[in-house]
Every structure is written in structure tokens, then in C-alpha cells.
A and B are shown apart, each in its own frame.
Chain A
Amino acid sequence: MLFRILEVYARPDFPEKLWQHVLLSLAALLVAIAIALPVAILIRNTRLGAAIAINIGNVGRAVPSLAILALALPLLGIGFASALVALTALAIPPILINASTGLREVNRDVIDAARGMGLSGGQILSRIQLPIAAPVIFAGIRTSAVQTVASATLATFIGGGGLGDLIVEGYSRRGPEILLAGAIAVAILAIITEVGFGALERAFTPKGLKIAQKRGK
């Protein structure tokens, strides 16, 4: 069985499907960050804005991925574009929720102190709020990334390509090695994403925060 799975990876169409999957996931994630982060930053000081963002985020998380994929169809037809739009919509909620919460959770005393020191709003954002919120924001991005890699499997139903093609093919042709090859590939991609973004998270955590975390503050 293992050998048959490896044979699937040697198929000429495999690299293309792998690349489609990675491209789709990456593009959706980047666009989601580009949308969610600025929105979270814009509403960081308004309580109403934050509440709306959190609620939209929670609703977004609850909607089934396949439903959003189906909704994108009438707009953009079958193919990569529809899949991208749908996956982006799915990738936004975790980032939005985490970024919004992370920015708002920054200790008011610290911000007051910064204001007292004469820092402008923008400086407070870039020097205080973002660095402190960074671990939480990155955790949101990490969650979203892994979720996107997994959800990109569904693109197969609307002509978006990706590793989902292999899973469906394996299921239809009753070839468990094809199905497993696709599923294992997605799992490995998801693990790489998790580990990779975890490392990024640690890299972006300010040194001071790392020390504080270690001290158990």
C-alpha cells in the first residue's frame, strides 16, 4: 500500500495539484491578512467596532466552508477565482477576531504611560500595541493558515484544483491509495504550516514579552 501511495506522488499531475493547493492557500491567507489586519487596527479603539468584528468573525467561523464555496460560484464561475474568494472569506474570521482582541487587550496603563511620554496615536500603535499584540495576532494567522490549507481541499468541487482532486478521484475510482495520497499530502502540508507559523510566531514575539512569558506574568 505504501508503495502504491508513493506511486501516486510520482504521477505527472501531482506537482500541479500540489502547487495549486499551496498557491490557493497562500493567496487566500495573504489577502485575508491584508483585509483583516487593517480592519482590526481601524476599530481598535471603538468598543462597538470591536463587538461587530468579533460577531462577524464568530458567524464566519460557523458557516460551513462548502456553503461559502457555493455562494462564490454565481459571481465568478467555476475555477480558481471562486475558490480563492471563498477561501479568503473563510480565512478572515480567525485573524480578525485575534487581531481585534489582541490589540484591545493591551494594558490600558501601558498605553496611558506611552501617551504621557508624548507618543502619538500612530506611534503607540506601531511601538506599543502591535508588538504586544503580535503573539495573539500571529496565533490567529497560524490558526487561519492551517484551516485554509485544510479547507482548500474543497476547491475540487468547483474546479479550483488542488489536492482535493486526488481525494475525490480516489473515492470515485475506489482507489484507496489515491485517496490516501491526497489526504496524507494535505495533512503534511497542514503540519508544515502549523510548525512554520509557530516558528514565525516565536520570531515575532518581542524579547521583552518572551521574558515576561517565561516569568509567568
Chain B
Amino acid sequence: MKNRTKLIRAVPMLLAGLALLLVVACGNVGGTDSSGSGGGGGPTITVGSKNFTEQYILGNMYVQALAANGFNAVAKLDLGSEQIADKALQNGQIDLYPEYTGTALVAIVPYKGNPADLNSPQATYEAARKGYAERSPADTMLKPAPFNNTYGIFVRKSVAEKNGLTNMEELAQDSKNLTFISYSEFQNRSDGYPNVQKNYPAFDFEEIKIVNELGLRYSGLESGEGDVGVGFTTDGQLTSDQLVVMKDPKSIWPFYYPAPVVRSDVLKKYPKIEKVLNEVSASLDVETMRELNGQVDLDQEDPEDVAKQHLQEAGIIE
């Protein structure tokens, strides 16, 4: 009798211990490497990133490239929004992170005027770079990678071919027979659908379905529950040949080219950072980025591995 009581008493303890173990184990499982070291000796550089796939990939690329070039690169990815990442940069908690030229003008550096009015990626970059340089502490926005990650309106291939749709104006004309699968944020932010309607007033969809889940929006399109969708031009799902991105002749959105933003004092101390990261940026283009994003989002691969593979193929690391 007495022994059974002891045994029974031990059970809750065992269960509590197991629960604790589970919590700890779960805490360490995650899709992203939120903190880790790239290795290498040398001066410590902390690399940050925002909290979506492309950012994780770029962040990991910066870490690995720097580590291969004599730096002790530390990753502090998954910081959150651009506000959080920027704060970390200015506080010195990180030394650099990837930011988009358009985003810098829209949300970070003071910029008078509408960033969408800048009519070239170069002009957008110059304005962002200037804005960053004039801050205190100053930052340097390095040369961007040569691709634009902006909103993209895309159409199912069969619909696009049947109606001869190649750009937004043509799509607008045919929109009253088409169904648009969108999401709440895009429909309600001023640079989202309202911006589209303002510039292409012919838009008048037969139906707009609001589905607040990116994967479901894309699968809804592929299954024919909608004809038109919206996403980002580097979404991995756009590697599908079933979707055609509409050209935007009026260029209604700012250019969002990704570039490393480094604290100027750090860059001055270690000017080699610029050369290393320029090499990374130059190795990318929109098709490659879509491909890499797709490997993470669709093939469930780890951003760290995807970054490594790309850098190896580009000859930037061994």
C-alpha cells in the first residue's frame, strides 16, 4: 500500500517534468534561426532581418558571406517589422540589416513627397541613401540587389491568354467579368487597392473575395475560384507558369529594391563589409529570388540552407 502511494505521488512530478521538457523543446523548434553565429574569427558583426521569408534568406546570406570573409558574423534575424529592425540598428543592437529602398522612404527616413512619384529605381535608391546618411547616427544604404519586390497583380494564365491581358490597364478593362482574390490589408491601405483604382479607374471587379491567408489565395487562384490575385513580385508561388504578372505601365508603386543598411560608423571601421555585401546583392535577380523564396515557402526548406546553397552556386562561399 505505502509503496503504491509513493508511486502515485511520483506521477504528477514526472508529468510536470515531461511538460517542462516539452516546453523547452518546442521553444527551440522554429522555422527560422533567430540567433546563431556564422562562425569565423575576426571582428563581430551582428546581422538583423525582418520577419518574412525573403528577409530570412537575405539575412542568412549576409551572415554567411561575412563569415567567409574574416568576420565573426552573428545572426539576429526575425526582428519583426521595419520599425523594430530600424530601432535595433540605431541602438547598435545590430550592425546591419536588409531594407527596401521604397520602404525606407515610406516608413523610415523623413521624405517629403510621394515615393511612388520617383520614376526610377536609381532615383529611389539615391533618395533613400541620402535620407539614411542625414540621420543621427548615420547609416549607409549599400548598393541594392537588382530586383524589385513590390506589389504584383497577377492573372491566371488561361484567363490572361484568352483575353490577351498583359498589363494593368488591359486587366482593368476586362475586370467586370473577373473575380479578384485579395486580402483585408491590401484592400484597405491607401497604397493598396485604393491606389490601383485611383491610377486605373476602369477597375471594377465582378467579385472581390477576401481571403486572409496567402497560401489559400494562391491555391484559390490555381483551382479557379478566382481569376486575379495580388501578392509580392518575388513570392515563391510566382514561379508557377500558371500565373502571369501584369505589367504596371504607370508605375503606381514605389520601387522596393533590397539593400543592406549598415551603421556608418561600423562601415567606416570595416570598409570590407561593402565589397562583401555588394557581391551578394549582385548575385540576385527577380527569378532567383522567387526561386529561393519558393524553396522555403513551398518546399519547406530552411532559409539558412537555401542561402548557403545559393552563395555556393554563385561562388561567393565554398
Contact = CB atoms under 8 A, between A and B. Distances in A.
Contacts of A159: 181, 209-211, 216, 220
A172 interface: yes
B184 interface: yes
Interface in A84-135: none
A172 B210 contact: no
B225 interface: yes
28 contacts: A77-B225, A78-B181, A78-B211, A78-B220, A79-B209, A79-B225, A156-B184, A156-B210, A156-B212, A157-B211, A157-B212, A157-B213, A157-B216, A158-B216, A159-B211, A165-B184, A165-B210, A165-B212, A166-B184, A168-B183, A168-B184, A168-B212, A169-B212, A172-B185, A173-B188, A173-B189, A174-B81, A178-B188
Interface of B: 81, 181, 183-185, 188-189, 209-213, 216, 220, 223, 225
Contacts of B210: 156, 159, 161, 165
Nearest to A166: B184
Interface residues of A, number: 18
Interface of A: 73, 77-79, 156-159, 161, 164-166, 168-169, 172-174, 178
Nearest to A178: B188
B216 A73 contact: yes
A165 B210 CA distance: 8
A62 to B, nearest CB: 18
A80 to B, nearest CB: 10
B216 A78 contact: yes
Given A77-B225, A174-B81, A169 B211 contact: no
Given A77-B225, A78-B225, A173 B185 contact: yes
A166 B212 CA distance: 10
A78 B217 CA distance: 9
Contacts of B181: 78, 159
B184 A158 contact: no
Contact of A158 (B185, B189, B213, B223): B213
A168 B184 CA distance: 7
Contacts of A158: 211, 213, 216
A77 B188 contact: no
Contact of A78 (B81, B188, B209): B209
A129 to B, nearest CB: 41
Contacts of B184: 156, 165-166, 168-169, 172
A174 B189 CA distance: 11
Contacts of A161: 210
A152 to B, nearest CB: 14
A79 B209 CA distance: 8
Contacts of B189: 173
Contacts of A77: 220, 223, 225
Contacts of A172: 183-185
Q: Please give me the 5 A-B residue pairs with the lowest Cβ-Cβ distance, nearest first.
A: A169-B184, A172-B185, A159-B211, A168-B212, A157-B213
Contacts of A173: 185, 188-189
A54 to B, nearest CB: 25
Contacts of B209: 78-79, 159
Q: Interface centre among B184, B210, B220, by most A CB within 10 Å?
A: B184
A183 B183 CA distance: 18
B216 to A, nearest CB: 6
Nearest to B188: A169
B219 to A, nearest CB: 8
